Amino acid sequence: MNEAVKRNLLGLDAQALGRFFEALGEKPFRARQVLRWIHQQSESDFARMSDLSKALRDKLAETACIVAPAIVGDTPAEDGTRKWLVKVDGANAVESVFIPETARATLCVSSQAGCVLDCSFCATGKQGFNRNLTAAEIVGQLWSANKILGVERKTERIISNVVFMGMGEPMLNLDHVIPALRLMLDDNAYGLSRRRVTVSTSGVIPGIDRLRDECPVALAVSLHAPNDRLRDELVPVNRKYPLSALIAACNRYLEKAPRDFITFEYVMLEGVNDTEAHAREAAALARRVRCKYNLIPFNPFAGSGYKRSSAERIRRFAEILQRAGVTVTTRKTRGDDIAAACGQLAGDVADRTRRSARRVPIKEVHA
């Protein structure tokens, strides 16, 4: 059978893989065996799956395949961060980023090629939207990372944390994101804790509610502004789902979330959203939902029109939040020398949105 028409098993969660084996006339437990081979052993050759009968291995070779998207670029940073360029088809490539730390190893994965949301400070948004990634293309980023790192370090399952903070809006691709999440959580696959898998959203409320009901993991919200007027400019999806509705959705999510707080991501833009008045507004939002703030120094890219807030301005913003009893961290910038830091994932792309030509950045400098 031509590989193009074979079933790619890489993106099938336990339930879907069980149905596949049932259609083959095989016992359901075969799904568990094959899940372990694919995701724990990073195996793509059915012939080497030694606890399967030869007849089954031959049948699988005829009807199925295990194919991850190709890694076509591998760029290391001085701080140990590593960016992979992942080719998903003849026209599109996405990026995933490996972030090693002392106590954990995090992989930042992409869920779409490009992004439709056009946040004003994000390089990915300038690429426009091309297509959703399949579950195999999403989990394939994790599969490939573990395989590459495992060979280099002579060990298995390197990645301890996964964050959906790469290219795209995960809540607009949940038909594929949810099966990928289930594989990440499955003890027969990657066995990650729900607390160690984080989905980030710009505030797509129907997606937040669906994720809550079907596969709740840690949730991060790209907030970036403490009031609707400013957020309408920075994060245009706010015009459809304003802050009052977003806070209500976050509170609903907390009913089933593995963590008892929502992380609010807040990119620090000089003179735009970083004043003391903004910090007080951000603290007021925190009284309406259990949350913590993650302040992110802006990572510049060509044509953005923004500058990074000064270290002192970020320190003062954090201090105001802390005095109000809000938990706050300031993200250490990783991988900015290889354009792998937050908001930089896009590669060399044309500005398909033309937003930079039609927008004058808001300046809110009054305290």
Positions annotated as catalytic residues are 95, 342
What are the tokens at 332? 């250490």
Residue 148 vs residues 13, 18, 41, 76, 102: alpha-carbon distances, Å: 22, 28, 12, 13, 19
Residue type at 205 in one-letter notation: I
In three-state secondary structure terms, 328 is strand
In three-state secondary structure terms, 268 is strand
Give 229-233 contacts, CB < 8 A, sequence gap 24+. Answer: 230/272, 230/273, 230/278, 230/362, 230/364, 233/120, 233/359, 233/362
Question: How many of the other CB atoms lie within 10 Å of CB of 1?
Answer: 11
CA distance 250 to 354: 32
CA distance 114 to 123: 10
Residue 272 vs residues 86, 113, 123, 191, 364: alpha-carbon distances, Å: 34, 29, 18, 41, 5
CA distance 70 to 87: 5
Q: At what angle do helices 243-254 and 205-214 cross, to 10 degrees?
A: 0
What are the tokens at 324? 């109000």
Residue 20 vs residues 6, 23, 183, 333: alpha-carbon distances, Å: 12, 5, 16, 43
What kind and span of H or E run contains 85? strand 82-87
For Cα atoms 200, 268, 124, give the angle at the middle one, nearest 5 degrees.
50
CA distance 58 to 192: 31
